[in-house]
Amino acid sequence: MKVVDLFAGCGGLSLGFIKDGYTIEKAVEFDPSIANTYKKNHPEIEVIVDDIKNIDNSGVFKSGDADVIIGGPPCQGFSMAGARIRQGFIDDPRNYLFKHYFNVVKEVKPKAFVMENVKGLLTMQGGKIFEEIKNTFTNADLLDGQPYYLYSRVVKAVEYGIPQKRERLFIIGTTKKDVEFDKIWEKTKEEIKKEIPTYFDEVTIFDAIGNMPEVTKDGKITNPKPQSEYEKYLASSSEVIENHTQSRHSIAAIERMKQVKNGENYTVLDEEIKSVHSGSYGRLCWDDQASTITTRFDTPAGGRFIHPVENRTLTPREAARIQSFPDDFVFYGDKRSISRQIGNAVPPKVSFFLARLIRGILAED
């Protein structure tokens, strides 16, 4: 089946669909540095580096281009103010990313789409935003007579064999009516378990990064032998893996890290730390999961991202492991760009499950 990935980022959502045998026809990413990582890991895929508003109006997409559209329009701009103007929610300028996503779905007419977002979308402005999104996709008049039937679920990464307490909302739309969504969801789990018995097993930080050697200046390390089932699942056959380089920390930051034990954070420090994050200067525990890997995993003040035993934050490779990226996936760009690529990605283990779920939905009679 053919897929178009909108708001593709470095390709976390694409990876799961590729692993399940889908063909990504096109990927859209606005940031050239992030798009470069996608291109270099998937040279066979056409990556369009442009603002989605230009793409929406350019005739790039046509009916039948894809069976499935995937991607999550960032929700920072979502507003209900437009609901008070004549045209309504979809024409509020602040909702333009959602509008262009919707327009591409309308143009391509896929059999299904997957839209990812923060779980807070469910309660944003008293749930009205979520209701408007549902109303827009289920309105036959807005979609040339072909509405979508919507299903949604908050997915906890830790329940999909990922060592991270990340939660994300996935909205799935399909042209098929009366889908037994919960039944297919459970059936998909059983199917994957038959193929990969340990897929949904709980994974700890040690299971994910326990075999990683010391960091190197260029981030290249001899491929370590996988020890856990999770490391085996992500393992690469290449001799070298990349991106295992640490952030440069100030002497003051290192001194602070030395005082923080496993499971502790800035509250044990005898000074006032100016940080908006409650987990600031938090140290990870080998036998636990990480909190959500964000775009600031390389900064001690950014959250609970200090290595369990070393006085440094996670390397990009370690953060990628915790996000369930395979070891042969290489991130390109400067430090800030790579942190954004990893922190904003959908964990590939979640996207593989979703790919299999969509296959199950579309196969139902």
CATH of the domain at 50: 3.40.50.150
* In the predicted structure, residue 351 carries a pLDDT above the cut 60: yes
Asked whether residue 224 is assigned to any structural domain, the reply reads no
Global pTM reads 0.94
- Rounded Cα distance, 70 and 15, in Å: 11
Asked whether residue 253 is assigned to any structural domain, the reply reads no
* In the predicted structure, residue 245 carries a pLDDT above the cut 80: yes
Question: Can you give the pLDDT at residue 278?
Answer: 74
Asked whether residue 104 is assigned to any structural domain, the reply reads yes
DSSP per position, 158-208:
GGGT-SB--EEEEEEEES-SS--HHHHHHHHHHHHHHHSTTTTS---HHHH
CB 151 within 8 A of CB 179: yes
Asked whether residue 146 is assigned to any structural domain, the reply reads yes
Mean pLDDT, residues 100-116 = 94
What total of structural domains would you count in the chain?
1
Asked whether residue 167 is assigned to any structural domain, the reply reads yes
Mean pLDDT over each residue of the chain, to the nearest integer: 92
Asked whether residue 302 is assigned to any structural domain, the reply reads no
Question: Can you give the pLDDT at residue 78?
Answer: 61
Q: Which residue has the tokens 């990969």?
A: 196
Question: Can you give the pLDDT at residue 82?
Answer: 47
Which of 75, 70, 90, 66 has the alpha carbon at shortest distance from 17?
70
DSSP code at position 290: B
- Rounded Cα distance, 151 and 155, in Å: 13
Question: Can you give the pLDDT at residue 94?
Answer: 64
CB 300 within 8 A of CB 313: yes
User: Would you give the end-to-end CA distance of the chain in angstroms?
Assistant: 17
List the single range of 55-59, 90-94, 329-333 with lowest mean pLDDT: 90-94
Asked whether residue 169 is assigned to any structural domain, the reply reads yes
Question: Can you give the pLDDT at residue 275?
Answer: 66
Asked whether residue 83 is assigned to any structural domain, the reply reads yes
What three-state secondary structure class fits 364? coil
Q: Which domain covers residue 63, as residue numbers?
A: 2-199+348-363
* In the predicted structure, residue 85 carries a pLDDT above the cut 60: no
Mean pLDDT, residues 222-249 = 96
Residues facing 4 on adjacent strands: 26, 69
Question: Can you give the pLDDT at residue 129?
Answer: 83
* In the predicted structure, residue 116 carries a pLDDT above the cut 70: yes
Is residue 285 flagged as an active site residue?
no
Mean pLDDT, residues 253-264 = 95
The residue annotated as part of the active site, out of 1, 49, 60, 75, is: 75
